[in-house]
């Protein structure tokens, strides 16, 4: 069934290439900015991959040449008025991240360009990550929107990067280069050039597809058992940022192309 297309929606494309399912964030005109619908479609793609007995590996990528994903679609935050809005949005992201983490099949993120915010957490929830030379990774919300990560998502970054690097990355709001991502073990390789990324991801997926599936599943179950995700009620944490004047002003400033002015309230 090489090259077969599954209809999950235009903003997320799902395609079978032999034993590999490709899931592509498909909003290149806005650098694959993520909506709540896209999180749900990624979650569904994980379930679909596991239901299809012929699929052995899943690859997650971004359409176009500019970004894996630039993070959240900022316009949707104009509709946030209550703590439930923030909690529900966080839950939608967490469902997609958890679906990737718990997927019985190996998952690979193919990262080109910016891999930011929710995009960084999607890629970080995959088992393996490879990147092109243009890749950049980070969660720069301290200088862009003034929102926050849930405790669960901070825990995810801690598992990937360690305490010192996670703290530095979040507090300085900078983006890591591909070479730094490789040096700290976030990615396993940098491709020779941009066009090499997707063929290399397919080759890596094909290799994994030839391995013992029960061994791979058992390995993932063992890793999942040992992964210590924080479980707590983050309503107060999320409300402190998402319902603040700073966040509201930053959303409008971002959409208008201006720098936000922080008031601390």
Residues 6+ apart with CB under 8 A from 226: none
> Residue-wise over 224-238: b if at least 16 C-beta within 10 A, else e?
eeeeebeeeebeebb
For residue 1, give Cα distances in angstroms to 18, 19, 20, 179, 198: 6, 8, 10, 36, 19
Q: How far apart are CA 156 and CA 97, in angstroms?
A: 9
Confidence class for position 262, pLDDT limits 50, 70, 90: very high
Query: What structural domains and CATH numbers belong to the chain?
Result: 4-218 (3.90.226.10)
Residues of the chain with pLDDT > 90, as a percent, come to 88
Burial tier of 82 (Cβ tally within 10 Å: 0-12, 13-18, 19+) = exposed
Name the CA radius of gyration of the chain, rounded: 18
Q: What is the mean pLDDT of residues 189-216?
A: 97
Rounded-to-integer distance, Cα 226 and Cα 5, Å:
35
- pLDDT, mean of residues 74-96: 93
Question: CA-CA distance, 91 to 43, in Å (whole number)?
Answer: 12
The owner of tokens 């402190």 is 240
Would you place residue 41 in the very low, low, confident or very high pLDDT band (cuts 50, 70, 90)? very high
pLDDT, tens digit (0-9, with 9 covering 90-100), for 218-255: 999 998 887 765 566 788 888 899 999 999 999 999 89
């Amino acid at each position: 069934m090489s090259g077969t297309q599954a209809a999950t929606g235009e903003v997320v494309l799902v395609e079978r290439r032999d034993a590999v399912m490709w899931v592509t964030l498909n909003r290149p005109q806005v650098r694959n900015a993520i909506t709540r619908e896209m999180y749900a479609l990624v979650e569904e793609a994980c379930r679909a991959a596991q239901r299809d007995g012929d699929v052995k590996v899943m690859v997650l990528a971004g359409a176009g040449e500019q970004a894996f994903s630039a993070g959240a679609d900022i316009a949707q935050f104009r509709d946030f008025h209550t703590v439930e809005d923030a909690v529900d949005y966080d839950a939608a992201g967490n469902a997609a991240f958890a679906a990737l983490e718990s997927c019985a099949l190996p998952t690979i993120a193919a990262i080109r360009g910016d891999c930011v915010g929710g995009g960084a957490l999607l890629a970080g929830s995959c088992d393996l990550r490879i990147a092109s030379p243009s890749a950049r990774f980070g969660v720069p919300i301290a200088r862009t929107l003034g929102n926050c990560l849930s405790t669960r998502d901070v825990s995810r970054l801690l598992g990937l990067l360690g305490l010192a690097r996670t703290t530095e990355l979040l507090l300085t709001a900078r983006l890591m280069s591909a070479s730094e991502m490789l040096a700290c073990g976030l990615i396993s390789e940098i491709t020779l050039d941009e066009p090499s990324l997707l063929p290399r991801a397919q080759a890596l997926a094909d290799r994994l597809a030839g391995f013992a599936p029960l061994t791979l599943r058992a390995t993932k179950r063992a890793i999942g058992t040992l992964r210590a995700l924080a479980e707590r009620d983050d309503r107060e944490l999320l409300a402190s940022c998402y319902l603040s004047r700073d966040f509201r002003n930053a959303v409008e400033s971002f959409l208008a192309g201006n720098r936000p002015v922080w008031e601390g309230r």
